[in-house]
Structure 1
Amino acid sequence: MMRRALLAISLLILLPFVVQVYSIDDSYVDCERVVNKWAQSSAENVKTEDKLTLKDLLFFLHIPRTGGRAYYQCFLRKLYSLDKECPRSYDKIRFDLSKPNCNIVVSHDDYSLMSKLPKDITSVVTILRDPVERVFSMYEFAVEVAARFLVHPNLTSALTSKVKPKSSRMVSTLDIWPWKYLVPWMREDLFARREARRLGKLKRSALSDVYNTEDVVMPLHEFISHPIAHEIIHNGAAFQVAGLTNSSYLDDAHEVRRCVRKHPSLGQFVLEVAKGRLDQMLFVGFTEDHKKSARMFASMVGLQVLSRSKSAPSDFQPQSTNQKNVGSSAQVVTDKAAEGTNQANSIGDKVFTATDTSSPKGNMTAERLMRKYEQLMRKYEDCIENSHKVQKSRHAMSLKRISPVNFTKEARHLVPDSMLEEMKILNSLDMELYRHAQSIFLQQQILMEDHDKQTKILAENVPVEIDAPRNFLLLLVTLVPLVLFFIVVMFKRSCCIKYFYVAKMKKAG
């Protein structure tokens, strides 16, 4: 009896732990089923040989703090005219696909936006950045934008004050994902710390590490550990490419994201889907290799847009980076007949397609196309230089309000290695996705070099087309010197013969 009693007591003690373990296993199994179902439904089934042919609609999936704004302002707005740009889609409330015949969407929306787009005629491009550097940049930009509100005496004043946009096409940063979450969070924190300093509740920090000045701004270590950072920032690129952000259009996105947060090992499903989508994109660029990425983007995307233009613009007009309503003069032709022929290039076990730069009758010749390409690159470089000046000035003005804090590249090197390692661990999916993107970038580079060689050959061998009036003038210019030369020669010859004849007659006489 005593043994049975002890066994019963032991079972009662262990029962909660058994139930808890069963609950954990059951939760994991349920989550695995949910995530696996989503992953299978998200698998890409696109023919690889078609992936590098620009389709009728271009979706620029803009991952925050990767330099995508430069591509939009300095490339795409010079390639696509304003009437070809789909309504602004930086937040779901504003997005509208009712505009007919639009050819380009630029958005911070995640890949789930493809569920609203005609997938068969849509090409996708994106840019990635080193995950640790992107976390730094997300933190710095959120603080910088929030600091602009410190002109107000208190948070209430900042919240009630409204700035009227200069143009109807301008979108407030507070309306753009993910800043509509991050900036208010940082804004509230900045005002709280300013008030705490005023009341003497916070001591001034040493400036040896600007990322740890808790009396002025939220320290970086606190920022990366916060639930909001886990929800929006960490592994943000992988979740955005997978279509699983908290702004997703998918009904099951929240549940999938919750399961992955709860069971990190399930993140491999997200990673594989994201990798597959990068594989099928028209172009994948890198922030760190900006110049090479820009030239590659111009070659792989810009040339295709230009080659389809019915009439090439006489010039790419430079535009200020802070103007929101200036479009490009280049017109886009979506007619399938204007796409030209394709030439396959095999790289490893993948087949890529290079669009032939020779164009149908009425379009640009290869020679003119190359001139426009080089002109586009020059305008891009000028635009980037101007953009950097504007950003640098605005950055300095914003940080004055939280002086002496000043975020610089040099300051990042002072952050402890332990924190850098923590950031890598927190962004393990993004780290893997970034490495995968590097292999794609290398393949694109090989393709671009081969494509440039083909284009150069076409440009050098393009036949010279001359119309009738120019042909007549050319003939006239060529023949007149020959006729004059013939007359001069004949005149000299006549004189010589006459002189010889006269001399001979005198000698005979």
Structure 2
Amino acid sequence: MVPTLKFAVFLLALFAFVDASSAEKDFVQCEKIVREWARSALEEEIEGDGHTLQDLLFFLHVPRTGGRTYFHCLVKKVYGAALECPRSYDKLRFDPRKPKCRLVATHDDYSIMSMLPREKTSVMTVLRHPVDRVFSAYEFSVEVASRFLVHPNLTSATELTKRIRAKHKGVSTLDIWPWKYLVPWMREDLFARRDARKMKGLSYVNSNDSYNVEEMAMPLHQFINEPVVLDTVHNGATFQVAGLTNNSYLAEAHDVRHCVQKFTILGEHVLQVAQILVNLAEEVGQYAICWSH
């Protein structure tokens, strides 16, 4: 082997060693971050009377689980309008110490408990098979984003939406996690595909596969691999129960989520914490779990 070639091989081997060493250090650091979070998350023991509903009920609304129907048709009927806290479907916007405020529904994750009187709060949620939830999230993202296609272009749709939201104080879908991330992103994609169809002279799309009408909407297989979906939809229910969404009140949530996404094997720690929290809470009756099919 000529000297130059030997040196090139040596450099490649050196770079491979450095890369492997760097990756190993990253994993060790990430494992430390995730383990430390898991330890601290389980430090506080859940105590209380397992047969008594606490003063405040927090309905942790996991998206696309039938939670809105469950809340309005059952939970809200039990409490009545007089005891419902001001509506907050994204980032707590009310004072939980408000007199007679006993029921709050929000897409906030479990980290909201740091803002609530833990010893006086019960938690309820609805869970669904994760694959079904991903399908539903895709369909809902396309459905809501497509409502803006009545506008001539994306700029018109965006500006009008800003003006309408500025005039109204109510909660919009575009204010709610995770739709505040998914809908504008999907809306931009839908307009881009519509413009591309116009350039091709296509007036409609003929397809028998509702999950792959590529000229009209993003195919499902592309949707599930996009970074924004990986961050908000994949394992979203687990992240909500563990308090680790990108809407979290925990300072360390971003680092833990980043490590879990980079080294998927570390996700076992998050899943275990979520399962332990649910199992512990069910034992004392403080965290009610309902399953949606």
Q: TM-score, normalised by structure 2?
A: 0.89
1:219 equivalent in structure 2: 219
The answer to whether structure 1 residue 25 and structure 2 residue 30 are counterparts is: no
Q: Distance in 2 between matches of 1:8 and 1:187?
A: 52
CA distance in 2, matches of 1:192, 1:167: 29
The reply on whether 1:284 has 2:289 as its aligned counterpart is yes
1:60 is aligned to 59
Distance change in 2, residues 1:41/1:202 (3 Å): farther
Write the distance in 2 (CA, Å) between the matches of 1:201 and 1:29.
54
C-alpha distance in 1 between matches for 2:74 and 2:8 = 74
Output one character per residue of 1:320-371: Cα deviation in whole Å (capped at 9) or x when no partner.
xxxxxxxxxxxxxxxxxxxxxxxxxxxxxxxxxxxxxxxxxxxxxxxxxxxx
2:126 aligned residue:
127
Amino acid at match of 2:121: T
Q: Which runs of 5+ in 2 are unaligned?
A: none
> Corresponding residue for 1:196?
196
The alpha-carbon deviation at position 13 of structure 1 amounts to: 4.1
CA distance 1:6–1:70, change in 2 (3 Å):
closer
Superposed CA offset, 1:439-493 (max 9, x none):
xxxxxxxxxxxxxxxxxxxxxxxxxxxxxxxxxxxxxxxxxxxxxxxxxxxxxxx
The Cα shift of 1:192 comes to 1.1
What does residue range 198-347 of structure 1 map to in structure 2 within 5 Å? Answer: 198-200=198-200, 205-279=205-279, 280-281=281-282, 282-288=287-293
Task: Quote the Cα distance in structure 1 between the aligned partners of 2:94 and 2:245.
Answer: 17
Q: Could you tell me whether the CA contact under 8 Å between 2:92 and 2:108 is conserved in 1?
A: no
Distance 1:100-1:216 versus aligned 2 partners, 3 A rule? same
| Aligned partner of residue 68 in structure 2, secondary structure | helix
Identical residues among aligned pairs (%): 55
Q: 1:116 is matched by which residue type in structure 2? A: M
- Other structure's SS at 2:122 match: strand
Q: Distance in 2 between matches of 1:39 and 1:213?
A: 42
In structure 2, C-alpha distance between the alignment counterparts of 1:128 and 1:154, rounded to whole Å: 38
Structure 2 residue aligned with 1:187: 187
1:40 paired to 2:39: yes
Question: Where does residue 110 of structure 2 map in the other structure?
Answer: 111
Residue 246 of structure 2 aligns to a residue whose secondary structure is coil
Checking the alignment, whether the CA contact within 8 Å between 2:141 and 2:179 is kept in structure 1 is: yes
Alpha-carbon offset, residue 79 of structure 1: 1.9
Rounded Cα–Cα distance in structure 1 between residues aligned with 2:209 and 2:148: 24
Match of 1:299 in 2: none
Cα distance, 1:206 vs structure 2: 3.9
Q: Secondary structure at the match of 2:124?
A: strand
Deviations 1:288-342 (Å, cap 9, x if unpaired)?
1xxxxxxxxxxxxxxxxxxxxxxxxxxxxxxxxxxxxxxxxxxxxxxxxxxxxxx
C-alpha distance 96-146 of structure 1, shift in aligned 2 (>3 A): farther
Report the CA distance between 1:204 and its aligned residue.
5.8
Q: Give the letter aligned to residue 97 of structure 1.
A: P
Moved more, 90-99 or 276-285: 90-99
Consecutive unaligned residues in structure 1, runs of 5 or more: 289-509
Higher RCO (CA 8 Å, separation ≥ 6 residues): 2
Question: Alpha-carbon deviation of 1:89?
Answer: 2.1
Q: Provide the secondary structure at the position in 1 that maps to 2:211.
A: helix
SS in 2 for 1:284: strand
SS in 1 for 2:224: helix
The question of 1:72 aligning with 2:77 is answered no
Aligned mates of 1:172, 1:233 — CA distance in 2: 19
Distance 2:224 2:11 in 1: 42
RMSD of Structure 2 on Structure 1 (CA):
2.6
User: Could you say if the C-alpha distance between residues 23 and 104 of structure 1 is closer, same or farther in structure 2, counting changes exceeding 3 Å?
Assistant: same
Between the two proteins, the alignment pairs up a number of residues equal to: 284
Instruction: Report if the CA contact (8 A) 2:34-2:259 is conserved.
Output: yes
The residue number in structure 1 matching 2:164 is: 163
Q: Offset of 1:65 from its aligned partner?
A: 0.6
In the alignment, the residues of structure 2 paired with residue 202 and residue 51 of structure 1 have an alpha-carbon distance, to the nearest angstrom, of 62
Is contact 1:89-1:96 (8 Å) kept? Answer: no
Distance, in Å, in 1 between the alignment partners of 2:69 and 2:256 is 33
What are the within-5 Å matches in structure 2 for residues 74-113 of structure 1?
Answer: 74-92=73-91, 94-113=93-112
Q: Aligned equivalents of 1:9 and 1:63: distance in 2?
A: 54
Shift of 1:55: 0.9
Q: In structure 1, how many angstroms separate the alpha carbons of the residues matched to 2:77 and 2:167?
A: 22
Task: State the TM-score, normalized to the length of structure 1.
Answer: 0.52
The answer to whether the 8 Å contact 2:34/2:266 transfers is yes
Q: In 1, are the aligned partners of 2:165 and 2:172 still within 8 Å (CA)?
A: no
